[in-house]
């Protein structure tokens, strides 16, 4: 296996923002990376999956020569990004979370300037810009100011900017955040195409489980600045043997009551209870794991009914990356995403 991207024990902390808080330690620092290591084989699509603040973006900034870590090392295509950043920059393409395209210039001007920054002669920079504009369906808007672009168009231009110099390694920081479902699907298709047809190595960060599951050959789950699990999506899911049984209750019994009821059902483990007092009425979602989900369903329903908790619905599913995330971080991914949104 030849390696395209490697990070070794990256550590980085930022000064804590201590505005308007006298008495707080001025030296206080917030840890962003806490010993993050990863290896990406050449030609793979590799997803860094984790909630906001997990350290995904900081990891990308270090790997793309933008930020210097406090300690640790990193290389891209065998080039040490700390010792030879200038060489590393020629090998990589970067599509950051924030666009970076100049809104007061046209799409074409942005692309031509980007070509110049990589040393393309003007004629070639223009040809290349035209080619990328056509490829990303931006020909009609090529000579309009970028500030008039829709979100999806702007994101396509961002990816085009990252591809101008034909990098062999592409970094995509949350490429589909904020896109509508249609644009997201199109972006997924393009990312998959880049990896297969153009044999590019792609490292993308995402907080969408579905994105990592559908797109990536390998997934690394990032939590608190470290990678807590890594593997192929299927392999990670297989490590969680058995099925997930999910039951919806049209009431809000105590968590303890549910747990006590299901504790005696044979083969049931890892019980999780989540309440919902939302607009659609009071509900409780119970999920548990079992080696044979289908066989466990009748016993689960019977136990609940006997305890006066009839179920509204029941599903049996293979474990998703959500369960993988839960197992390695102790938190449910959707809960984490909600906490982030608050």
Catalog residues that contact another protein under the rule CB under 8 A: 14-15, 61, 64-68, 86, 89-90, 92, 94, 96-105, 109, 113-114, 116-121, 124, 127-128, 131-132, 134-135, 137, 161, 163, 165-166, 190, 193, 198
The β-bridge relationship of strands 218-223 and 45-49 is parallel
- Cβ closest to another protein, residue 126 vs residue 259: 126
Residue with smaller CB distance to another protein, 202 or 244: 202
The three-class DSSP label of residue 315 is: strand
Closest distance of CB 306 from another protein, Å: 59
- Which DSSP letter does residue 65 get? T
Shortest separation between residue 79's beta carbon and another protein, angstroms:
12
Q: How far is the CB of 84 from another protein (least distance, A)?
A: 11
Smallest separation (angstroms) from another protein to the CB of 179: 17
Q: Pick the closest to residue 179 from 200, 204, 151 (CA basis).
A: 151
With respect to another protein, which residue has the nearer C-beta, 5 or 326?
5
Tokens found for residue 59: 């990891």
* CA gap 301, 30 in Å, rounded: 47
Q: What is the DSSP letter of 227?
A: E
Query: What is the token pair recorded at 237?
Result: 């899911």
**Cα–Cα distances in Å, from 36 out to 27, 54, 118, 181, 337?**
23, 11, 30, 32, 22
Reduced to 3 states (helix: H, G, I; strand: E, B; else coil), residue 18 is coil
Beta carbon of residue 161, minimum distance to another protein (angstroms, whole number): 7
* Beta bridge pairs of residue 266: none
CA dihedral 196, 197, 201, 207 (to 10 degrees): -60
Q: Cβ 190 to another protein, closest distance in Å?
A: 8
Contacts of 3 (CB under 8 A, 6+ apart): 39, 40, 41, 42, 78
Closer of 190 and 248 to another protein (Cβ): 190
Q: Closest separation between CB of residue 117 and another protein, Å?
A: 4
Q: Which residues pair with 15 in a beta bridge?
A: 29
| Closest distance to another protein from the beta carbon of 165 (Å) | 6
Between CA 137 and CA 28 the distance in angstroms is 48
Classified as helix, coil or strand, 49 is strand
Question: Residue 70 or residue 340: which is nearer to another protein going by CB?
Answer: 70
Q: Judged by CB, which is closer to another protein: 105, or 316?
A: 105
Nearest CB to another protein, comparing residues 99 and 320: 99
- Burial class from Cβ neighbours inside 10 Å (0-12, 13-18, 19+) for residue 195 reads buried
Residue with Cβ nearer another protein (15 or 310): 15
């Amino acid at each position: 296996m030849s390696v395209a991207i490697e990070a070794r024990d990256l550590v980085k902390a930022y000064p804590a923002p201590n505005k308007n808080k006298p008495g707080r330690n001025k030296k206080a620092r917030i840890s962003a990376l806490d010993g993050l290591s990863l290896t990406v084989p050449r030609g793979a699509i590799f997803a860094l999956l984790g909630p906001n603040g997990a350290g995904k973006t900081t990891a990308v900034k270090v790997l793309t020569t933008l930020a210097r870590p406090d300690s640790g090392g990193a290389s891209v295509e065998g080039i040490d990004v700390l010792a030879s950043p200038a060489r590393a920059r020629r090998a990589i393409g970067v599509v950051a979370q924030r666009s970076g395209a100049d809104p007061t210039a046209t799409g074409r001007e942005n692309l031509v300037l980007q070509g110049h920054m990589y040393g393309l002669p003007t004629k070639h920079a223009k040809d290349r810009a035209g080619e990328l504009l056509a490829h990303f369906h931006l020909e009609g808007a090529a000579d309009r100011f970028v500030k008039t672009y829709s979100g999806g168009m702007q994101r396509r231009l961002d990816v085009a900017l990252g591809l101008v110099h034909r990098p062999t390694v592409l970094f995509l920081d949350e490429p589909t955040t904020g896109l509508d479902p249609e644009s997201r699907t199109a972006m997924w298709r393009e990312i998959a195409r880049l990896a297969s047809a153009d044999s590019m190595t792609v490292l993308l960060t995402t907080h969408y489980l579905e994105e990592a599951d559908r797109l990536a050959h390998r997934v690394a789950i990032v939590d608190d600045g470290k990678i807590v699990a890594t593997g192929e999506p299927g392999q990670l899911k297989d490590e969680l043997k058995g099925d997930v049984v999910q039951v919806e209750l049209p009431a809000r019994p105590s968590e303890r009551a549910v747990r006590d009821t299901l504790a005696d059902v044979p083969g049931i483990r890892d019980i999780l209870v989540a309440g919902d007092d939302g607009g659609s009425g009071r509900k409780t979602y119970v999920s548990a794991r079992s080696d044979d989900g289908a066989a466990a369903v009748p016993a689960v329903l019977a136990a609940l009914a006997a305890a006066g908790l009839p179920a509204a619905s029941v599903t049996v599913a293979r474990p998703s990356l959500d369960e993988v995330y839960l197992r390695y971080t102790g938190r449910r991914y959707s809960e984490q995403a909600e906490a982030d949104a608050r």
